[in-house]
C-alpha cells in the first residue's frame, strides 16, 4: 500500500495535536501571567448566566488551573477517539469537520480563559459577546464542511438512520451545513447588536434547530431509501 493510500485510511491527528499543544501553551502562559498579576484573594469569573452576568466565581488556583487541564483532557480525548471508532476510512475523509470542531473548541476555550483573566485583572471586555461571536464563527465553519463529510462515527450528523443509509447521511449533512451557516451568520450579527438575553435565546433556539432539523430529516430520507 502506498503512503498516500495509507493516509486515506487513517485519520492523521497531528494537526489536532499541534493545535492542542499551542492552545495549552497559550492557556498556560495566560495562567502564569494571571498568577503574578492577580492578588491571592482574586475572584475570577467561571460561569455566566442567561442574563450575561457572572453567576459563579472561582478562586485564583481553581480558575488558573482548570482551563489548561480542560484543554489537555479535550486534546487527549479527541486524539484517542478516532482509533476507537469503526469506518476509519470515512473518518479520514471527514477530517475537515473533525479538525474544525477540535480547533474551534480549543480557540473558544483559550479566548474565554484569556478574557476572564484579563477582566479579573481590571479589564472590562464583553465576555459573553466575544464567546457568542466565536461560537457563531465555529457554526459557519462547520456549515461549510458538513456537506463534504462521509458516513462515520465521529464527525457529522450521526443518527441511527444516517449510519445505515449513505443517502440519508449526504442529505442530512447537507441540510445541517445550510442550517449551521445561516444560524452562525445570524449569531455573528446578533453578538454585537442584540441584548444579551435575546442573544442567548437566539443561540439556544438556533442550536436546537441545527440539531433537531437534520435528525428528523435523516429519518425521513432513511424511510424512502431502498438501499438502507
The structure's pTM equals: 0.81
Which of these, 125, 117, 98, lies nearest to 27 by C-alpha position? 117
> pLDDT tens-digit profile of 25-72?
999 999 999 898 888 887 777 777 666 677 677 788 888 888 899 999
> pLDDT tens-digit profile of 202-222?
999 999 999 999 999 999 999
* Residue 224 CB neighbours (<10 A): 10
Q: How long is the chain?
A: 228
Looking at residue 25, its pLDDT comes to: 94
Which of these, 78, 218, 94, lies nearest to 147 by C-alpha position? 94
Looking at residue 73, its pLDDT comes to: 92
Q: Reply yes or no on whether the pLDDT at 144 is more than 70.
A: yes
Which of these, 179, 154, 176, 178, lies nearest to 221 by C-alpha position? 176
Q: Reply yes or no on whether the pLDDT at 197 is more than 80.
A: yes
Distance CA 147, CA 143 (A): 8
Amino acid at each position: 500500500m502506498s503512503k498516500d493510500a495509507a493516509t486515506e485510511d487513517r485519520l492523521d491527528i497531528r494537526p489536532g495535536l499541534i493545535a492542542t499543544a499551542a492552545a495549552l501553551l497559550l492557556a498556560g502562559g495566560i495562567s502564569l501571567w494571571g498568577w503574578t498579576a492577580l492578588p491571592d484573594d482574586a475572584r475570577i469569573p467561571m460561569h455566566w448566566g442567561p442574563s450575561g452576568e457572572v453567576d459563579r466565581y472561582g478562586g485564583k488556583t481553581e480558575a488558573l488551573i482548570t482551563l489548561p487541564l480542560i484543554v489537555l483532557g479535550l486534546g487527549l480525548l479527541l486524539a484517542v477517539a478516532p482509533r476507537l471508532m469503526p469506518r476509519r476510512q470515512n473518518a479520514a475523509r471527514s477530517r475537515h469537520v473533525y479538525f474544525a470542531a477540535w480547533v474551534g473548541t480549543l480557540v473558544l476555550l483559550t479566548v474565554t480563559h484569556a478574557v476572564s483573566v484579563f477582566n479579573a485583572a481590571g479589564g472590562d471586555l464583553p465576555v459573553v459577546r466575544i464567546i457568542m461571536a466565536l461560537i457563531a464563527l465555529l457554526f459557519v465553519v462547520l456549515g461549510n464542511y458538513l456537506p463534504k463529510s462521509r458516513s462515520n462515527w465521529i464527525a457529522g450528523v450521526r443518527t441511527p438512520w444516517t449510519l445505515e443509509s449513505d443517502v440519508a447521511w449526504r442529505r442530512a449533512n447537507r441540510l445541517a451545513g445550510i442550517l449551521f451557516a445561516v444560524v452562525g451568520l445570524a449569531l455573528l450579527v446578533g453578538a454585537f447588536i442584540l441584548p444579551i438575553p435575546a442573544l442567548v435565546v437566539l443561540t439556544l433556539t438556533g442550536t436546537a434547530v441545527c440539531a433537531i432539523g437534520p435528525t428528523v430529516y435523516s429519518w425521513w430520507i432513511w424511510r424512502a431509501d431502498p438501499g438502507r
